[in-house]
Every structure is written in structure tokens, then in C-alpha cells.
Chain A
Amino acid sequence: MVNKGFAKHYYLMLLPGFIWLILFSIVPMFGIVMAFQDYNPGLGILHSEWIGLDNFKYMFSLNDSGTILFNTLFIAVLKILGNLLIPLVFALLLNELRVIFLKRWIQTIVYLPHFISWVILSGILLDVFGYTGPVNQILSVFEIKPILFFGRADLFPALVVGSDIWKEFGFNTIIYLAALTGINPALYEAAAIDGASRMQRIRHITLPGIQSAIVLLSVLSLGNVLNAGFEQIFNLYNPLVYSSGDIIDTWVYRTGLVDLQFSLATAMGLLKSVVSFIMITVSYYLASKFANYRIF
């Protein structure tokens, strides 16, 4: 049943949202031309000199760019792997827990860090891993000298990846747990009657039962290969760890909004946007092909 007269009301409903979208998402996309200009704030976008790919050439000639690309990929890939695997293991263990009220409590608690900001958590982490913080206090019991954790470039990626997994693993179990509820309990009963042990039931019923969820999450995470986590690193890093902790997003911030090299920062930002966009599109294509996934 279609009422033709409704369409104009529908467009009216959509109007405010699309105005907002145009002003704050679509207009900025046109600003990308700055990446191909020698942008001068005095002249504006329309009158700045067009220099083609010079910004990109200059960008790749910098020593920094190799380092930040490597750091970004390295941290992001480790995070992707950790955030797929650890929630999976945790969801499987939680699924085996038979004390229901305890299960609810644990779920409620492990989801919580997801909702706390990186500003807050960074404040806490810098204190906990600080020079006189509890971690160093514990180490001193074993006669280990205090370590300046967030001043050590060799430790920084591990701390970033570890704290990100700590924050997100609980929340990331939600999809797995939802998939687990879809498994028919009769399968477990049948397997038990046939003499399958608990491990065999996990191996042959639970894992195949959530296989499609695992495939889907893995494929969709492809889109994050350049997302090393700006908010986290921005709040945890300092110049002592730039060599292993500076990533594309933090570099773009410093270059663009601190050093005011607008065109150079836009060029690097564009590189990231384009690569991410391609990766996400590929991942959605694969997800729709292999896991029958539709965004809408």
C-alpha cells in the first residue's frame, strides 16, 4: 500500500538531517583540493596556487612519512588481531560459565571501560604506570628499578595495543555472544548423549555455530588497517616515543593545526581517507559475498 502524498512529508523529515550532513560532512570534502594547492589562508581555496602533486612528492621525501606509515600499520594490525581473538576466547569462556547471575555481572563490568573516554583512561594509565605508580611499586618488590613506561619507545606500541584491548575486549564480545545464543541447545544434548566431552562440544558445535560471525567480523575489520586510534595515542604519547608511537592522525594534527602547514596535512589526510575507503569498500564487498552481510 503506497500513499503518494506521503513522499513530500518524508522529504520534509529528511531535510534538517541532510542540511547538517551537507554542512559538516560534504562541504569539508571539497576542501580536499587544498592537497593539490599551495594553500594560503589569505588567498583562500579559490585563489591559492595550484601545484598538482608537489605536496605528495614532498610528503614522501620526508623521513617522517615512512616511520608514521609503519607505526600506523603496525599498531593498527596488532589491535585488529587482538580485538578479534581475545573477545572470541572470552566469549567462549563466558558461554561455558554456568552460574547465570555471575555471567550477567561479569558482562556488565567488562563492557564498562568501552564507555569511558581515552582522556580519562589515559589520565589513569599514566598514573598507574607512572614513576611512583602502583606498577613500579610492585616491580620494586622484585628489586626492579622504576621504569618510565610511557617514556620508552620500545614499550609504547605494546602499552597502546594492550590498553586498547583491555578497554574494548568486553564490548567486542557482544556480537559473538549474540551469535552464540543462536545455536540450537538440542545440538549440545545430542552430542552429550553421543559421549562428546566439553572440549569436543566447543570444537564441533560452538565454533562452527559462530563461524559466520567470526568471518564477518574479520572481514569488516579490514577497514581499520590505518586506524591506530587517534584519541588514545594523542593522549598517551609524548616526543620521547614519537619514533614508535607517532601515527598518521597525530602527525596530521601537528602538521596541520599546530605547524599550520595546511596543504601538507590535507595531503596526508587524503592519503589515509582514500586507502581506508578502498579497504572498507573491499571489506563490505567480501562481507556481502561470503557472509551475506548488508549494511542496510
Chain B
Amino acid sequence: MVKDNTTGSRIFDVFLIVLLAGIAILCILPIWYTLAVSLSDNAAAGSGRVGLWPVGFNLSSYKEIMGDRKFLNSFWISIQRVFLGAGLNFVIILLMAYPLSKSSKELPFRNVLMWVLVFTMLFNGGLVPWYMTVKSLGLINNIWALVLGGSVPVFSVILVVNFFRNLPKELEEAALVDGAGPWRMMMQIFVPLAGPVIATVTLFSIVYHWNEFFNGLVLMSAADHYPLQTYIQQMVVVVDANTMTAEQIQRMSELSNRTLNSAKIFIAMIPVLIVYPFLQRFFITGITLGSVKE
């Protein structure tokens, strides 16, 4: 990189550091604020006296949540959903991406199958027909509705297909000469080389299944089947403002348990905050490798 040491350029550098660091802080400030409120005294939070540091530090809201059966139940449903959903996605993505990375000579109708896949990504039947289908499959109130409801993660399949297609042909030919069959070829040659892209699509799957609330809301009819995000959406976010005046909303916001709600919100963020740093170093490589074509 060019060294540029004029005074103007130096001032610009300092300005840049301050500006960009400021923007980055703006990105985590609301998360930090939520943590501060969750650790504060409820009266202080309700009257808006909490800033960036807890006022009247205490853990009572976290203790209360630990005894909240509904919250823990939803948390457990979300954990199950993530393991089943991300696990299934992982298997299906590999099983679809490997054959589809072959040419139409090796896999007849490959292009037709590929276009069907892309078509389902671009066009859908809409909310009501989709709901009717899941209902007629008898999956209402069943955790498999949450696992399967979003259908095949087509975008991830295409990302992995493109990655596989860019691997050198010689690897495959060498393994073929050594007598490797299609399954062995996939598991021992292709999958080990696709680490970053597989990490990327797995991150997407985990985050999708942890964050998704709408299928939980629509496909689960009772609160004890709700995944965590749906639980939070129903308990914390939804305010029936149908008939309320501004004064009533004001009074309600003072009465509502702000510290407890903030603690619930913060706990719901924790799994993403834990997974993210481990996988984020992969996803940039994963996305760019998977989307660049020969």
C-alpha cells in the first residue's frame, strides 16, 4: 500500500479511525444497553434512569427466568430445533450439492434439476397455500414442522455446488483411478476440501433456525410448543395497541417489567453471540469462494 504522509492525509487518517470506530460502537450500543437494563433495578429501568451502566446492579431478573417454566421450555424447543434443523440441512446440502456439481454427461438432466431448484427459490405459492400444505401433512404443533417448514436451503446448496465445481478436476480423476466410488469420493475428497463453505452454510442454518419466529407462530397453535423467538415475540414485542391512547401506552411502558424483558432478550441472543466469532472468520471466504465462478 502507498505511504502518504502529507498533513492532510494524516488528519484524514485520524478522522477515519474516529468515524469508523464510532459507527462500530453504534452497532453494539443497543445490545450493550439491553444488557445494562437487564442487570438494573426494575424501578430505575422503568423510569428511564439506566444509561450504559446498570443502576442498582442485581441478578434478580435472571434468577426469575431460571424459574420460568415457559421460557425454559421454549429455550429447549429452540435448542432441539437448531440441532435437528442444522443437522438435516448439513446432510441434505451435501447430498444435493455433490451430484449437482457434476456435468450433465455424468448426471443426466442435471440442468433441469438445477433450474427446478432455482425456480423454487424465486417463486413460491405464498403464505396461505404453504400453511395449508403443512397442515394437511399433519405437522401442526410438531417440531418437524419447524425443522422442515422452511424447505430446502436452496441458496446454500448453490453456494456449495459452485464451490465443488471450482475444485481441480485432477483430484477427482486421481481418486477415480484409485478406485474410489461416488460416496467415498464425496466424503473423502470433496467434503474435507470444502471446510470454509460448509462452515458458512452451517452458520446460516444455525442462525436461521435459532432466529426464525414466524413458522413457530403460525404452525404451533399452543404456547407450550413455541420456540424461543416466538415466545419472545408474543411476550415482549407484541403490544395490543388497538384501542390504546398515547397516555395508556406510556403508563404501560412504566408498568411493564423492563429488566425482565431485557434479560429474556439478552439470553435469546447469547447462542448467536457464542457461535458467531468462531464461524465468522470462515464465512467471508465461504461466501466469496462459493460465488466466484470460472
A93 to chain B, nearest CB (A): 6
Query: Which residues from B are CB-within-8-Å of A116?
Result: 31, 211, 269, 272
B19 to chain A, nearest CB (A): 7
Given known A28-B125, A238-B239, A266-B128, contact A23–B133 (CB-CB < 8 A): yes
Interface readout for A13-41 with B: 1 if CB under 8 Å, 0 if not? 11011101101111111111010000000
Complex-state Cα separation, A185 to B1, whole angstroms:
6
Query: Which residues from A are CB-within-8-Å of B2?
Result: 188-189, 191-192, 201
Closest B residue, CB atoms, query A147: B246
Tell me the interface secondary structure of chain A in the complex.
helix
Tell me how many residues of B have a C-beta within 8 Å of chain A.
108
Tell me how many residues of A have a C-beta within 8 Å of chain B.
106
Contact, CB under 8 Å: A266 / B129: yes
Contact, CB under 8 Å: A277 / B123: yes
Q: Is B222 an interface residue (CB 8 A)?
A: no
Q: Is A211 an interface residue (CB 8 A)?
A: no
Complex-state Cα separation, A125 to B237, whole angstroms:
10
Complex-state Cα separation, A151 to B17, whole angstroms:
37
Tell me the interface secondary structure of chain B in the complex.
helix
Q: Is B280 an interface residue (CB 8 A)?
A: yes
Given known A11-B99, A25-B152, A124-B31, contact A252–B232 (CB-CB < 8 A): no
Interface positions, chain B 100-153, Cβ under 8 Å from A, are 100, 102, 105-108, 113-114, 116-118, 120, 122-134, 137, 148-152
Q: Is A49 an interface residue (CB 8 A)?
A: no
Complex-state Cα separation, A60 to B33, whole angstroms:
45
Complex-state Cα separation, A265 to B232, whole angstroms:
27
Complex-state Cα separation, A113 to B237, whole angstroms:
18
Contact, CB under 8 Å: A132 / B20: no
Question: Footprint of A on B, CB under 8 Å?
Answer: 1-2, 4, 9, 12-13, 16-17, 19-21, 23-24, 26-28, 30-31, 33-34, 37, 46-48, 51, 91-92, 95-96, 98-100, 102, 105-108, 113-114, 116-118, 120, 122-134, 137, 148-152, 154, 157-158, 161-162, 173, 176, 181-183, 186, 207, 210-214, 218, 229-230, 232-233, 236-237, 239, 241-242, 246, 249-250, 253-254, 258, 261-262, 265, 268-269, 272, 276-277, 280, 284, 287-288, 293
